[in-house]
Amino acid sequence: MAAVRRSAILILCSCCLHAARLSAQRRQSSPATAGESRAVTAFEKARANQANGLALEAFLRRMPKGGDLHMHLSGAVYAETFLKDAVEDGLCVNPNIDSLVRNPEHGPSTPCQQGSVPAATILQDQKLYDALVDSFSMRAFVPTPGVSGHDQFFATFDRFGGLDKSHSGEWLDEVASRAAAQNEQYLEVMMTPEFSASARLGQAVGWPVAPGAGSAQDIVGTAPQQLEQLRAKLLEGAVRAEADRSTRHARGSPAVRPDPRPASATDVSGCGVNGRIDPGCDQA
């Protein structure tokens, strides 16, 4: 982890040096503002302190960032949070594949299937806890022939599945608060709604065939009217209900709210409660 941190700091330093050079070029034609002068002085002071990398890290952490675009919420939450939620949800853990397993009856008092243990076990088993954190993230991952970092990253999502979507507000609060602490200006958060029932319905309904086959109006060989009928069946049969349920989970309320941030996320941060202001509340 120390090597990764050093590499990240070096990359950020390179970016800052490049920005400083551009700023110097601009100053040749126009004088620096007071703010620019203070920033250059602070950066050079932190960079000169080679014995204390924390000074440079602190400077870079406070430095204003742009936006985090196309950010999938489940990919931005820390593994430790997922493990805490797994304990709360009464899930099970399969230590053989370091993955969460949903109880057949899904209840804290329901025994786990053979080969799995209650998620609460991780609170007394540091080795299992560490293994799950590594399994759910890129921490300590070392690529090997046939298993790349790309493979590990995308394999993690199936391993922490089964968590209740009611945690969405908590997850958003965590991500927004961390972004604010790093002085990020904008978040474009994406969430995948539930779709298991929609997928089953789509498989059962199947793709419409003739009489629209060969129609010059449709490149898939299906008449537009057939596609509209298929769309209506999927919407009414599962898609709309699952989308609505996912929205309620994210917003923490059965009512549709104009606030784009989930109500439960603002509740977690205490935004606007008794005059309290959390940095994450201001994240766009």
Total domain count, the chain:
3
Domain final residue, candidates 63, 89, 110: 63
Beta pairing, strands 92-94 & 99-101? antiparallel
pTM beyond 0.85, yes or no? no
179 with 243, same domain: the answer is: yes
127 with 143, same domain: the answer is: yes
179 lies in a domain? yes
233 lies in a domain? yes
Of 37, 59, 38, 62, nearest to 49 by C-alpha is: 59
129 lies in a domain? yes
Q: Is 262 exposed, middle or buried (0-12, 13-18, 19+ CB in 10 A)?
A: buried
203 with 270, same domain: the answer is: yes
* Strands (DSSP E) found in the chain: 67-72, 92-94, 99-101, 117-118, 186-190
pLDDT tens string 152-201:
999 999 999 888 888 888 898 999 999 999 899 899 999 888 888 999 99
177 with 277, same domain: the answer is: yes
pLDDT tens string 96-141:
999 999 876 655 566 888 899 999 999 999 999 999 999 999 999 9
Question: Domain limits at 93?
Answer: 73-163
174 with 242, same domain: the answer is: yes
68 lies in a domain? no
169 lies in a domain? yes
